[in-house]
Amino acid sequence: MKIPKYVGAFKGKDFLNTQDFTQEKIKQILDAADDLKRKFRSREPTPYLPGRTLFMIFYNRSLRTRNSFEAGMYQLGGHAHFLSPQDLYTPTLPEDMVPYATESISDVARVLSRYGNAIAIRIYGDPAKWTIGRGHRVIEEFAKWGEIPVLNMEDDLYHPFQALADIQAARETEPKLQGKKFVVSYAYSGGLKPLAVPQSEVLITTQFGMDVVLAHPKGFELEDSAIKAAKDNAKRYGGSFEIVNDMKKAFEGADFVYPKAWSPKQFVPPHSKTVDKEGASAYQGKFKDWITTPELLDITNKAHYMHCGPADRGQEVTDEVLDKYERSLYFDEAENRLHVQKAVMAMFMP
């Protein structure tokens, strides 16, 4: 069996945010993902990580992420090990350590480093106390102490594997992304949701030189750091980045639309002293008309509909769009999670 050159190309590195990599390096990952997708479809074996172990710590639930990592690691000849934090001693940040009651992230990361080849973590929302940035800090703490690559399976700031899967799906349908209008829009949902997906979407699409429009009602601003990075990307990679407060205006002439719920941040720390779930829900309730319907898609340039999943039916999007819209990429994005994750594991894991 011939081992492709990309196997081990980024050996030992962490994968926490797409912004940590240039467009050229992201393209290398996507090319590897395309190769693995082709081989998966033709049932060509890809045992590039024999005997390797991935530890997956899920502080939150998952359908796509857990199952695509587990299946992907098996297809690469290795094993993915599922861990819920309560089955460990709840890996904890230094400032929250209760003597004799918990185990520090620094210890957990170093112990797991002796057993396997990468640690993947998902943490946002309640386990991160709905404090924006806290989930990301947990993953950074793992990366600081881990002696093997740390992979971000979604925190409260970024969802980098979703961004990779989405840009793979986008370039499969439109090989030249530069100059295409990509809309990342707020969509209504009743519950609190992290900023990770919209932030990672504006980052990856500006990194590919697209004309990116971020649409949301007032009060749903993304973090300043993500906005600055998206603006910098647009300048560096020759695209544009604009923010509007009108969903319909944003959809006009769009080539891709990505309508997705996230939370109004003035109701959660550090932008608020406490977590006000009721206040957030009442505020979100004012924007129930931010829903994707066939009529709204009619004003686009035959846009591809995108969503990371799970989409809230009847809130973010109608059944008709999810089940019948021909230019939906919803299931391609879900499938591509498998291929991009296999690419990163094959390239990054020692």
Q: Which residue, 57 or 234, has its beta carbon nearer to ligand CP?
A: 57
User: Which of 267, 252, 132, 248 lies closest to 191 in space, CA to CA?
Assistant: 267
Q: Where are the alpha helices (DSSP H) in 47-87?
A: 64-75
The Cα–Cα gap between 234 and 162 comes to 20
Q: Which residue, 29 or 234, has its beta carbon nearer to ligand CP?
A: 29
Number of residues that bind ligand CP (CB under 6 A): 9
- Candidate residues 141, 154, 156, 255; the one interacting with ligand CP per rule CB under 6 A: 154
The DSSP 8-state label assigned to residue 303 in this structure reads: P
DSSP assignments along 318-349, one per residue:
-HHHHHH-TTB-HHHHHHHHHHHHHHHHHHH-
Q: What is the CA radius of gyration of the chain?
A: 20
The window from 60-68, 220-228, 229-237, 291-299 that contacts ligand CP (CB under 6 A) reads 60-68
**Smallest distance from ligand CP to CB 197, Å:** 7
Position 294, amino acid: P
Is there binding between residue 168 and ligand CP (CB under 6 A)? no
User: Which of 195, 134, 204, 203 lies closest to 169 in space, CA to CA?
Assistant: 204
Query: Under rule CB under 6 A, which residues in 63-92 are in contact with ligand CP?
Result: 63-65
**Smallest distance from ligand CP to CB 138, Å:** 17
Is there binding between residue 307 and ligand CP (CB under 6 A)? no
Residue in the structure block whose two tokens are 């980052």:
203
Is there binding between residue 329 and ligand CP (CB under 6 A)? no
The window from 61-69, 71-79, 112-120, 202-210 that contacts ligand CP (CB under 6 A) reads 61-69
Is there binding between residue 140 and ligand CP (CB under 6 A)? no
**Can you give the binding site for ligand CP, defined by CB under 6 A?**
62-65, 154, 162, 308-310
